[in-house]
Amino acid sequence: MAVRFVIIGGGPAGNTAATVAASLGAHVTLVERDLIGGAAHLRDCIPSKAMVATGNELTELGRARGMGLEAHGSLDVHALRVRIASIERQLCDDLTGLLESQGVRLIRGTGRLAGPHTVVATTDAGDEEIEADAILLATGSRPRIPGWAALDGERVLDTRSAYPPPEIPEHLVVIGSGVTGVEFTHMFSALGSQVTLIVSRQQVLPYKDPEVAAVLEEEFLRRGVKLLKGARAIGVDRDGDKVVVSCDDGRRAEGSHAVFAIGFVPNSEGLGCEAAGVHVDERGFVPGNRHCQTNVPHIYSAGDLSGRLPLSSVAAMQGRKIAEHVMGLTAREHRHLDYDKAASAIFTDPEIADVGVAEAEAFAAGRKLRVTKVPFSANPKALINGDTRGFVKILSDPATGVVLGGSIVGRNAAELISVIAVAVTNNLKVTDIVDSLLVHPALAESLAEAAY
């Protein structure tokens, strides 16, 4: 009899696991309370990147004069909203169609564990009990909001209610300067908002390479973004059309809107973990081992719920590995997920991307590193593009030449980092990059130069 695999949550973790398991012959049921695609497609990655894309186009129009063009642009917020909705719909429809064509049973409802081998799906038609040989919990997360903040969905917002906006805020106060906070700062300033960014430390992106953060801070300042450094927000009040954010050092940031971008909390309540004996940690995550198995071996956890790197790409890869494990494919060549080798990007302008070992951490740990850095200012394609900002940095082992990591700041950094990511994942050497015959003129030539 086919393996009965039940998945709760249809985001990147859940829908990837469903597709892979179905293609391997499992009988898959996927319970999703909203649309297939998850928060990733409907609320986070896709809409935010669509907003960024429009902001970048507007910025490009501003640069057009330097390319010998006369061009002017103005934003049509309604058209932007329609565009985002149509991208989301297309992605959700495509995924739903794929799953249905593979014979995955889709249940529109809320899932919970009712026992170690039983999932209950609550739908408009009532409760349905589904028996399972293996279960995946992939219910994702939601924005973290401090207890003192009263969101009103109008001017005091979380990241999910801030877009697509009915109008572009005149002055947005962004609370939090991690990846999401800087992306919001970038997208709204590119679309014409004045932005104040509250930075609780002395550097935006506190966990990133200081050289990388410095390029972004410089760009923000050039655009007129106000950085309130060393300030922690402790209150937010509405005063008519104004929003006032108070900080712990007595400073106040005033704007027309405020958005919280201070992290996320996992969706583990109401999931019935206790009914199946699944361990939930003190922060609400459902941790797993290297196969993403919880303490109950046939119940897996993936994506933001698992407390690992909160990235769509990681969630999808976990989903794939889990499906292979459920279907017993681990006996053959099966690589475990190495979270330390996950590439990630920040969609600002310039883009920022990195992978592998972080320079500051490696030096702090006394690890020997060869660090080579090449600015894009010497790259012919960057000159042609009229955008020479940023650099490529490659970190390698001085004894073996094995590529250990890298950072890229600049145009298309999110695409270019893939080359270094492949090298890091496969233990390639710097010479493997140097000896590759690359396209000319191309930004990727700076990778070969940095590897040399």
Ligand X SMILES: Cc1cc2nc3c(=O)[nH]c(=O)nc-3n(C[C@H](O)[C@H](O)[C@H](O)COP(=O)(O)OP(=O)(O)OC[C@H]3O[C@@H](n4cnc5c(N)ncnc54)[C@H](O)[C@@H]3O)c2cc1C
Residues making contact with ligand X (CB under 6 A): 8-14, 31-34, 38-40, 44-45, 48-49, 110-112, 138-141, 159, 180, 267, 271, 303-305, 310-313, 315
Closest CB 306 distance from ligand X, rounded Å: 8
Distance CA(23)–CA(41), nearest Å, equals: 23
Amino acid residing at 141:
S
Instruction: Name which of 342 and 382 has its Cβ closer to ligand X.
Output: 342
Closest CB 263 distance from ligand X, rounded Å: 9
- Residue of 319, 306, 299 lying closest to 114 (CA atoms): 299
Closest CB 244 distance from ligand X, rounded Å: 24
For tokens 């030449």, what's the residue?
Answer: 401
Closest CB 157 distance from ligand X, rounded Å: 12
Closest CB 187 distance from ligand X, rounded Å: 10
Exposure string of 198-229, with b = 16+ CB inside 10 Å and e = fewer, is bbbeebbbeebbeebbebbbebbeeeebebbe
Distance CA(256)–CA(195), nearest Å, equals: 10
Instruction: Name which of 159 and 396 has its Cβ closer to ligand X.
Output: 159
- Residue of 33, 24, 26, 20 lying closest to 6 (CA atoms): 26
Instruction: Name which of 279 and 373 has its Cβ closer to ligand X.
Output: 279
Number of C-beta neighbours around residue 274 at 10 A: 10
Instruction: Name which of 149 and 448 has its Cβ closer to ligand X.
Output: 149
Distance CA(44)–CA(232), nearest Å, equals: 24
Burial tier of 333 (Cβ tally within 10 Å: 0-12, 13-18, 19+): exposed
Burial tier of 143 (Cβ tally within 10 Å: 0-12, 13-18, 19+): buried
Closest CB 397 distance from ligand X, rounded Å: 28
Distance CA(14)–CA(302), nearest Å, equals: 8
Instruction: Name which of 13 and 374 has its Cβ closer to ligand X.
Output: 13
Instruction: Name which of 20 and 451 has its Cβ closer to ligand X.
Output: 20
Distance CA(136)–CA(296), nearest Å, equals: 11
Q: Which residue is nearest to ligand X (CB)?
A: 303
Query: Within its chain, how far is the Cα of 139 from the centroid?
Result: 16
Instruction: Name which of 255 and 310 has its Cβ closer to ligand X.
Output: 310
Closest CB 418 distance from ligand X, rounded Å: 13
Instruction: Name which of 102 and 123 has its Cβ closer to ligand X.
Output: 123
Q: Give the phi and the psi of residue 4 in degrees, each rounded to 5.
A: -90, 110
Question: Do residues 42 and 92 touch, judged by C-beta distance below 8 A?
Answer: yes
Instruction: Name which of 110 and 396 has its Cβ closer to ligand X.
Output: 110
Q: Give the phi and the psi of residue 318 in degrees, each rounded to 5.
A: -60, -45
Closest CB 321 distance from ligand X, rounded Å: 14
Closest CB 168 distance from ligand X, rounded Å: 17
